[in-house]
Each structure stands twice: as C-alpha cells, then as structure tokens.
Amino acid sequence: MKFSEQWLRDWVSPALATQALADQITMAGLEVDAVEPVAAAFEGVVVAEVVEKRQHPDADKLSVCRVDDGSGETPQVVCGAPNVAVGQRVPFARVGAVLPGDFKIRKAKLRGVESRGMICSASELGLEEETSPGIMELPATAPLGEGFRDWLGLDDHAIEVDLTPNRGDCLSVKGLAREVGVLNRLPVEGPALAPVAATHDETFPVRVEDPSRCPRYIGRLIKGVDVAAETPLWMVERLRRGGIRAIDPVVDVTNYVMLELGQPLHAFDRANLQGAVIVRLAREGERLVLLDGQEVRLDAATLVIADERGPLAIAGVMGGEHSGVSAETRDIFLESAFFTPLAVAGQARTYGLHTDASHRFERGVDFELTRQATERATALLLEIVGGEPGPLVEVASREQLPSERRVPLRAARLEQALGKALPTEEVVEILERLGMVVEGRADGWSALAPSWRFDIAIEEDLIEEVARIHGYNRLPVRRPAARLALRPDREARTPLARLRRQMVARGYQEAVTYSFVSPELQQALLPEAVSPALANPISSDLSVMRASLFPGLVRALEYNLNRQQTRVRLFETGLVFRGELDDLSQVPMLGALVCGTREPEGWAGSQEEVDFFDLKGDLESLLAMGGEAAAWRFEPAEHPALHPGQCARILHRGEEAGWIGTLHPAVRAELGLRVDAVLFEVRLDALTQGQVPAFTPLSRFPEVRRDLAFLVDEDLPVQALLDTIRGRAGEWLVESHLFDVYRGKGVPEGRKSVALGLTWQHPSRTLNDEEINELVDAIVGESRQHLGAELRG
C-alpha cells in the first residue's frame, strides 16, 4: 500500500515528523518499506500563463511565446512543445531556477531568438518517469505567480507500507488513518459521505444467483456523463503518489475511492449492458476479453458479473473490455459489491493476474462500506463528469454476510502473554479506539470486532492488538521461567541430522521443495494418488499437496538440467500428504534422486552412468545406520512412476516402507527429460528405528571361508538364496555376501550363476573342516530342495 503523507494528514495529523510517523507505523506492526519524496528537488518554478505565441522565424518546430509569471513582466520564451497555446496556465522556470538533475536555467539564444526561462513538462519536473511529449497544462484556477511546488504540495512524501495478509483493513488511507489516530489518541476526520439524492427514477436490474459468494451488491445508473472531462490535477497527483496512473475521469474516480476508503468499484458502459446485471458462476466454455486485452477461458468455479448475453467481468478481479467505459460512453452503471474472500482468493492467479481489487477482496473488504463508497464515488463523478444519478439498487443476503464476532479476553491470559498487568481502563480504551464494542466480564472482557477487522477471531488476536497499541517497546524484557526436564536420549533411534550428514558424505545435496506441486506432474508420476487441493494456491502449477517426494525432486532435476547441470545428486526430507482432508495422513519421508555419471568428471574417472544399484547402495548405507540391516528387504514390484524390472518395494519388518527404481521411460518422455534418473523414498519413522548398540567381543580364533557358486533360475531373487543359506548356516556364520553373478558360456539358458562368500568364526575355539563341510552340505541340500539350486562345478 502506497499513499501520500499529505493525504493521510488530511484525515489525521499527529505532531510527528515524517520519519517519526513512519517509525510509529512500523512499530504498530505495519512495516514501512520506503519513504520517498513525491517529486524531485527543484526551485524557481512558478505558475504562469501563455499570453502570446508566434512561429519561430528559423525553426518549424519551435514557438516564440511570452508568459505572464505574475512579476509584472512578460518574459520571452522559446518553446518546442507541440501543445503550447495562448491562455494556458503552465509551470514556468524563471531564469536562475534549478530543475532536477541540477539543471540551471539561464538566458539563452535558440536559433538566434532570445529565451528567458523555460515552460516545463511533467517529466522535466520529475513528476513522470517517461519523457513527456508536451508541456504540463495546469487548470485555469491555478494561481498566477505562485510557486508551483507550494501550489501542488510537492513537499510531500510517498510512504509505502508492506502489509501482512491479515491487515486488509489498512489497504486504504482511511484504514491507515484509523491506525494513526488510535496510536496517537487523535480523532479521525475524513470527507463527508452524505447520500446523493437521485434525480431520476431509472434503475438497471440486478440479480445475484450466488449470494454465498456475493452477499451484497449495489448498483447505480448515472446518466449523461461527460467522459471527455479532465480529471482534476489534485486527484491525478494523489493517484500518482499512490502508485496509480490516471486513465480517464470515471476510472480515476473509482481508483481514487478505492485508495481513499478501501472499496474497489467498477463502472460499466450502460449501452453495452443487456437485460440485467447477473452475479453468477461462469459456465463451461465461456470466454472473456479483459480490460488489458487478454482473452481468457473462464473456469466453472469463477464468479463473474454477467448480463443476458454473457460475462462482463471477473468478480473482484478485472472488468471486460466490451463493457468498459470508452470515449463514446454517455451513461454508466456504477458497481460496488462485497465478495467473500474465498470467492476471490486465487482467482486472479488462476488467470495470471494481480489487480488492486483482487488484492483487497482476497484479504477482506469492509462489508458495511459498500454503500458509503458508492455515495462517495457518485459525488466525485457528479463534480467531475456531471450527470444525473439514479436511486441505489441493492441486493443483499443478510444471512450470508459475515456474522458478529464477539471474542473473549481474559485478564490473566493478557498479563501472562505481555509479561505485565495493564490497567482495565487502558485495555478498554485501546479496544474501543480500535472500533470494538467492549463488555466487562468476571475474568476480563469480551469485544465485538468491527466489520472491517476480518482478522479478529480468537483471544490471541485481541492480545496482539493490545500489545501493539500499548507499544511493543514498552513491554518488559524477561527471561521465561519454565521447569524443564532433560529429554531422554533414545539410543535406538537414528537422528535425522545423522541421516542428512550421511547423504551429504556420499555426495548428495539437500533440496527443499514446496509441499504443494503441479496436479499434472503428480498425475504423471502417481496417477492413483489422492491428496488435498489448495483453496488459495500460490499459482496454478502449485495447487495440490504432494502425495510423494518424487514430484518435487523430479521438478528440481528438470530445473538443474535446464541449467546445464547434468550430474545431479539430490535428497530431501519432508511430509507427504495422502487422502482427503477429513481422512488425511501426513507421513515424514526421506527421498533421493541421482542422474548423470557415476563419478565426477576427471582424467581418471569413469564416465559410466549411475544405475539402480548405485542408488540402492547409498540407500543401504542409510539402512545400516540403525544396526538392523537384516530387518530390511527389497522385493520386485511395479510402481507407475518407475521402470518395470528396475523397481523394488522397500520392506521394513515385512511392512511397506518405500520405493526405489529408475524413472519410467514413458513418464520421462511425458516430462521431456532426456536422461535416466534413479530415485527412492522411504518412511522416516522406519528409517530412524534401530537397536541399541551392544558390545560383541572379538574372537581370537581364525575365520573359515567357503565360496559357493549356485546355478539358479534367472528370475530367482538372490535374497531368497541368502535367506535359505542363513537359515541352515548355523549360529557361527558371521558374514555372507554376493560377489559374482554370471550368465553366458557354461551356464544353461534361463539360469544364472550366483557366487556367494560365507565366513564362519567360533568365539571360543577353532572350527574344523568336518563341521564346516557338514554346514555346507546342509546349505546345498536345502537350496536344491526349495529353490532348485545346483552347485556349479
């Protein structure tokens, strides 16, 4: 919100300098981002009148003028502006004046003709950023000879306030004046908002088909307006200082009232309306050309203002080009409405828009302001463009308007939160000055929130209001007292920080992605996933909660690949959301993704690409940290996002704990990825489980190793063979691992050779060959009987 300091002081003017006022607003929780002069520094410029104009004898594009600057003389000026004319009042820089950029005005000769001064354009005075095509024309009432800077009030400042989303009530000069008045215990005096009497009885029908989204709609027909009239310079200046460019008098008035009171308005050309104004949801396939020339296809969930022919505007966001005010407009239909925040929230972003109106409606506009804003805008329009106002047409659904919010405030809770007790009189005074109706209770107070404060709903909101108006800097600084017990160190759990360090040690970088993702991306990776959709998404491609870490990691991979980063190692921890809102589970997960070469680029490094087993090895290093590697299993399975045959379900103690695999080629093609990627995700609650470390004494006796090569069916998982071996190898087996898989010459088709290394060691004696041979025979016999495995010769 950007506003003129002078405009604010017309409502309430505390005895504070500009910076002190900005500091006070910031300390009240409304952070001031910038305080800037509304005009560049200049001096020696006065209001003058052009009394004579003739063609320059030696230049077609120059005029020789004489101006009356109120000094009793009429200095001659050479002017190159095409719009200079006799009778104009203009800003005139006398000889000796200093313009922005330290440009000094001196006597000069232009093409042989003397010039004593300069008639100025708006850009030459620093009032416009773009170069003005002509001189700045002033109203005929501008006082001749008066200093231009003083007359236009340019010793002013534009104050920009960065408001949090809950303070939509301060998105106007009136709202900020209320705050300043409360902070300084001063009355707030705005312009008179008296009703405007109708001069004709004609109305335009209004029908609200969705009162839950538009509980109040007010319209007024104003006939015979002159849109060719000029917006007064004072209004143009206030709009400029509020960051809004003047367009035409009707639009300027609606923008002015929006800045002044906080109520967005819209004016339709009556000639382009047919039948009735209808507030309804858009119908499938309807299109609308907006005021900015963009044509949009309307979503069925979009609230629109329409007539009998079709949509006229997106409610609370932007009007349509067809029904807008133009140079031919003679009658206007002025709209002022209250749209519920949820009806407008996210609609602007859905169509790639962000307007001043949507910014306000999304945060909540005072629903009692609608009629006042209409009367204020009508009065200004009659003053500027004339016309004949008709009676107000109001369609309201009282039961759909926001209900009264009476919020309790306990004195003990207030004292606890602030760290000090405030007198009852001060608490009541603060709340009442904020516009609340306060009643005393046995344990404190209850306050009825005013219509403009959508953010007052619970006790903590009232505590915040009392604290900020009392002054945060006046609250005591105390260390909180608490009885804290030492938390037990659960040694059986692996801390998340340790898991993160392990991933970093293996060459990964941690990614932090949004918890919401594109519905199209999630559908491509997880077609059967169910997760909540956001009511007010940041953007349309971040509109559903993630059901997996895969979408965020894949999007991060795409981002890196688009920036020529072809070797990517990413991991992420965070919640995933599964199910609808009424049955939602939030599961903490750890996921990772790799692509590119196995080793960094180097003269001695391999250029082989990473595969499934590289990532599986990294994952197994995490699984082993809990000391229960045997509790984990990988089993072949199918996942819609992963490549068949290069995909496994991760089991922890027999229960599904995650997935690992190579990205499915069809999914990769759909997403436009040119490289293979391998990824996994696993539940953090299973990953952090483990067992308490225990000491095992080292044996002084030698190990005995046997290497066995089995011929097994091609589709037999090696894990099944390992499980069988461990079941018959006895209690002294200390290690079993796979060291070779062979297919080819000497191995029958459909079979594979699996070589395993088995190591035994007894804690108190040396094992003999007879004992080991007996165990080996048992292993071979069990493997042959249950798995069809044969010992390879």
Pick the range with the lowest mean pLDDT from 210-214, 393-397, 600-604: 600-604
Please name the fold of domain 406-473: Phenylalanyl-tRNA Synthetase; Chain B, domain 1 (3.30.56)
Give tens-digit pLDDT for 714-734. 988 888 899 899 889 999 999
Burial class (CB in 10 A: 0-12, 13-18, 19+), 620: middle
Residue type, position 469, single letter? I
Q: What is the average per-residue pLDDT within 270-275? A: 93
Beta bridge partners of 305: 279, 313
Q: What percent of the chain has pLDDT over 70?
A: 100
Q: Is the predicted pLDDT of residue 605 greater than 80, yes or no?
A: no
Third-level CATH fold of 496-687: BirA Bifunctional Protein; domain 2 (3.30.930)
Mean pLDDT of 684-702: 88
How does pLDDT run across 130-187, given as a tens digit for each residue? 777 789 999 988 999 999 999 999 999 999 999 988 999 999 999 999 999 999 999 9
531 Rama class: left (phi>0) / alpha (psi -120 to 50) / beta: beta
Q: Rounded to an integer, what distance in angstroms lies between the CA atom of residue 534 and that of residue 345? A: 11
Mean pLDDT of 374-400: 95
CATH number of 704-791: 3.30.70.380
Whether this model's pTM surpasses 0.75 = no
Amino acid 517: pLDDT: 94
CA atoms within 13 A on the CB side of 354: 3
For residue 298, which of 317, 311, 280 has the smallest C-alpha distance? Answer: 311
| Reduced 3-state DSSP string for 455-496 | CCCCHHHHHHHHHHHHCHHHCCCCCCCCCCCCCCCCCCECCH
- Quick one: which of 676, 683, 681, 664 has its CA closest to 525? 664
Asked whether residue 380 carries a pLDDT value surpassing 80, the answer given is: yes
Assigned architecture for domain 43-151: Beta Barrel (2.40)
Which CATH architecture does the domain made up of 2-38+156-184 adopt? Answer: 2-Layer Sandwich (3.30)
Spatial distance between the Cα atoms of 316 and 356, rounded to a whole number of angstroms: 9
- Strands 303-306 and 311-314, how do they pair? antiparallel
CA dihedral defined by 37, 40, 45, 47, rounded to 10 degrees? -60
Whether pLDDT at 281 is above 80: yes
* Placement of tokens 């499915």 in the chain: 664
User: Is 792 exposed, middle or buried, given 0-12, 13-18 or 19+ CB atoms closer than 10 A?
Assistant: middle
Q: Please state, in angstroms and rounded to a whole number, the distance separating the CA atoms of residues 18 and 361.
A: 30
Least confident of 259-268, 373-382, 501-510, 539-548: 539-548
- The pLDDT mean for the chain works out to 92
Evaluate if residue 509 carries a pLDDT over 80.
Answer: yes
Q: Give kind and range of the element (H or E) at residue 371.
A: helix 370-384
First to last CA, the chain: 84
Q: Do domains 2-38+156-184 and 704-791 have the same CATH topology?
A: no
Q: What are the backbone angles phi and psi of residue 787, rounded to the nearest 5°?
A: -120, -5
Q: pLDDT at position 604, please?
A: 80
Give the closest residue to 14 by CA, choosing from 191, 242, 188, 260. 188
Nearest to 575 by CA among 685, 672, 410, 436: 685
Question: Which residues touch 386 (CB under 8 Å, ≥6 apart)?
Answer: 224, 225, 226, 229
Domain residue spans in the chain?
Answer: 2-38+156-184, 43-151, 206-400, 406-473, 496-687, 704-791
Residue-wise pLDDT for 343-378, tens only, equals 888 788 788 888 999 999 999 999 999 999 999 999
pLDDT of residue 607: 84
Q: Can you tell me the distance from the alpha carbon of 526 to that of 543, in angstroms, rounded to the nearest whole number?
A: 15
pLDDT in tens, 544-553: 999 999 999 9
**Distance (Å, whole) CA 684 – CA 498:** 12
* 256-277 average pLDDT score: 95
SS3 label, residue 755: strand
pLDDT band with cut points at 50, 70 and 90 for residue 578: very high
Rounded distance, CA 634 to CA 632, Å? Answer: 7
**What are the b/e assignments for 188-198, b being 16+ CB within 10 Å?**
eebeeeeebeb
Segment 644-657 mean pLDDT: 92
Q: DSSP characters for 647-694?
A: EEEEEETTEEEEEEEEEPHHHHHHHT--S--EEEEEEHHHHTB-----
Q: What pLDDT shows up at residue 695?
A: 85
What number is the average pLDDT over the span 85-105?
92
Q: What is the spatial distance between Cα 52 and Cα 74, in angstroms, rounded to a whole number? A: 9
The amino acid present at 146, given as its one-letter code, is E
CA dihedral 7, 8, 12, 16 (to 10 degrees): -110
Identify the CATH homologous superfamily for domain 206-400: Phenylalanyl-trna Synthetase, Chain B, domain 3 (3.50.40.10)
Question: Residue 293: is its pLDDT beyond 90?
Answer: no
Give percent of the chain above pLDDT 90. 75
Question: 523-527, 592-596, 597-601: lowest mean pLDDT where?
Answer: 597-601
Q: How far apart are CA 2 and CA 34, in angstroms?
A: 9
Average pLDDT over residues 454-483: 89
Distance (Å, whole) CA 474 – CA 24? 13
pLDDT band at 603 (very low <50, low <70, confident <90, very high): confident
Comparing 567 with 696, the larger pLDDT belongs to 567
Residue 459 has pLDDT above 90, yes or no: yes
Quick check: 498 and 559 in contact, CB under 8 A?
A: no
Integer Cα distance of 660 and 654 in angstroms: 16
